[in-house]
Structure 1
Amino acid sequence: MVWKILSALSAACLAGAACFAWLNQQDLEKERNRLSFANTNLALAQTRKVEGDEALKVKQELLASSQKERDTSREEVLKLTAEAQEKEAAMAVIKGNLDQVTAQVTSVEKQIADAGDIEKLVAQIEKLKKEQQDAEGAVANQNQRVASAKEQYDYVVSQINTLRDTEAQGRRGIVSPDFTARVSQYFPEWDFAILSKGNSQGVFANADLEVKRGRQVIAKLKVRNVEQHGAIADLIPGTLVEGNAIRAGDMVVAAAKQSSEEAKPTGGAPVPTEGATPAMDTTVPGSPAPATSDPFGAPAAPAAPAMSDPFGAPAAPAAPANSDPFGAPAAPAAPANSDPFGAAPPPAAGASMTSDPFAN
């Protein structure tokens, strides 16, 4: 009895198991179908994703191109707007100019109407143009004359300055450092030499010179008298090198020390220092004390002692201060600060005064 019950239970269990197995088989088949469907959907989704990515890329490229076109269009719009504003401003200017031209044309038409004869006006204009050209030519000629006169004036001023410098150097007895000359003849018995250059070549009275033979200085000279193309220079005692003698043709140069303060070697009278007031010359009886005629303030040279002429001429009297080195007679006493270039004396009281020494 029991075994029947157990068999029935076993058969029921087997039937239940078979039923559950069949149900599970159905569920498994459904799950497999679902998995296959899900895989199919996944493949479709991936395909759609790839297509969507490609479409997105295309859309992004289209978007970038559209943005670029938009920016370009915006720049063009701004440019066109600026050009339109400029054209409007230019149009306003042109309109204003047109109004001005219209007003000018109206004014000219009115003037033409008021003028009447145009040919007469043209002839007057041509005449005025010709007169203007003539006046311009005259002005140009006058300017050329003024320029020429200024050049002549500058040249005269430069010559005056040169003459003043030369005069000042002559008053001080100073020659140029690069001065050279030759001994034309030497007289040992009177200890003086005749030089090949004179006043026109830069020799001045009381100038200090040196006699050179080769590179050696063999003697020193002091210029006594000066002519235009020659000069006489005395040998300074004690300067002739022992065993040497001055000969014709020896080179004469400016002394290394040019000083008018040294005592004169032949007369013994001291030469006044530059800027000092010289004493009154008393060598000529009855003559007044001459005031210096040098406007540059150079001192007057002392009286030169009488020297015997080796050619037999009688001794000349002592020369007064400021005597002419070329032998001209002494000029009368000149007023202070008189013009050494021969300008006219100052006018009388009440006459017009001028500071130009060259004024007529």
Structure 2
Amino acid sequence: MLWKILSALSVVCLGTACYFAWSNQKLLVEERKRETYTQANLAEIKAHIAKAEEAKKTLEGQLAAAKQELDSAKTGVTDTSSKVQNTDKELNTVKSSLEQIQKRLAESEEKIREAGNIKALVAQIESIKKETAQAESALANQNQRLAAAQERVNKLNDEAKAAEEREARGRRGVVDSDFTAKVAHSYTDWGFVVLNKGNAGGVFANADLEVKRGKNVIAKLKVRDVEPNSCVADLVKGSLSEGDNIRSGDLVVAAAEQSANTAAPKAAAGAAPAAGAAPSAPAAPGAAPATMGADPFGAPAAAPAPAMGSDPFGAPAAAPAAPAPAAPAMGSDPFGAPAAPPAGGAATPAPSTADPFGAAPPAAK
């Protein structure tokens, strides 16, 4: 009787052991699948990091090229300013010659009243008038050359300002307000997404972006790594509702509030030009410009000459126009002012040390 009981217990134990063996075998297969999935993701992330390093080198080269272009623009502005000063000197010489001719004309008129040979004096006056007309024509040509040179200076100033703004905006990480992109790949579980635009599409590192679905903002992003045609953006903690996910194809736009812009007005408050300053306007044809000797870099203007329309027979000339204010310097110094530091003065945050592969995906059922 005892051996029957022992035999039955042995059969039960053997069946239990077989069940647990079968269950452990199934768990082992699932665990191996998880390991294979994790290793594949790790290889993909390493390849992406290598591409990001290459993109960083490309951006550094582009920044160096932009700086070289800015230096060329500075040199062009300096050369044009020198030409404007030389033209000013020539114009002053012509004005001096015109004043001498007008003086001689006044002396001739006085002699007409005193002398009796009217015909000779009239011929002399006509000759002086021709010389005066030639001098006025030369002065008008100088005015046109000066206006053209001033226009070139203004154009170079605008180009230099635009280059500085692009460079400063790239350093601060501020994208255009009308910027749009799409989510190419979403890795919400690991806290980042990949966008379909890079620096060629107007994306900069540390830019603030928003993910919109319809008219609602579902999450906020912070650009981390930028490539020519794609970029990686980290998900801002707390911006995505619990249980929600970012999907591929979601619309990405510029954030309504850029963190780089909040501190920029404070940093640039001490270097901003006066609100009333404005660039000088070109002179009207045939008249001496109001800022004839004005230097676009702040040198004092030369004294204005008498108006070209003054009466050659002694009538007082019209009062010269007051010099217009010199063109304001861009950012308080068109060339050489240090760029505003990034918003808040903070360095780029260190990457998260959390293991993005610590949690395995749910097992398939």
TM-score after normalising by structure 2: 0.36
Q: Relative contact order, CA 8 A, sep 6+: which one is greater?
A: 2
Whose Rg is larger?
1
TM-score after normalising by structure 1: 0.37
